[in-house]
């Protein structure tokens, strides 16, 4: 995935950041980041 593509900037990144900040504990935050890194 190209990090400067419009799909990444307008769709993928905001969703991942939203889920990351909604996660309550460190384990949840790590799970969000691991799940987000799989499709890349």
List pLDDT tens digits, range 2-39. Answer: 778 888 889 988 999 999 999 999 999 999 999 999 97
Q: How far apart are CA 8 and CA 11, in angstroms?
A: 6
Flag whether pLDDT at 1 surpasses 80: no
Residue 6 has a pLDDT of 87
Q: Which pLDDT band holds residue 40 (cuts at 50, 70, 90)?
A: low
Residue 8 has a pLDDT of 83
Residue 2 has a pLDDT of 78
The model's pTM is 0.79
Q: How far apart are CA 31 and CA 33, in angstroms?
A: 5
**Domain boundaries defined on the chain:** 6-37
The alpha-carbon radius of gyration of the chain (Å, integer) is: 11
């Amino acid at each position: 995935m190209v990090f400067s593509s419009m799909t990444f900037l307008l769709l993928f990144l905001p969703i991942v950041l939203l889920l990351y900040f909604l996660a309550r504990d460190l384990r949840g935050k790590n799970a969000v980041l691991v799940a987000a890194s799989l499709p890349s």
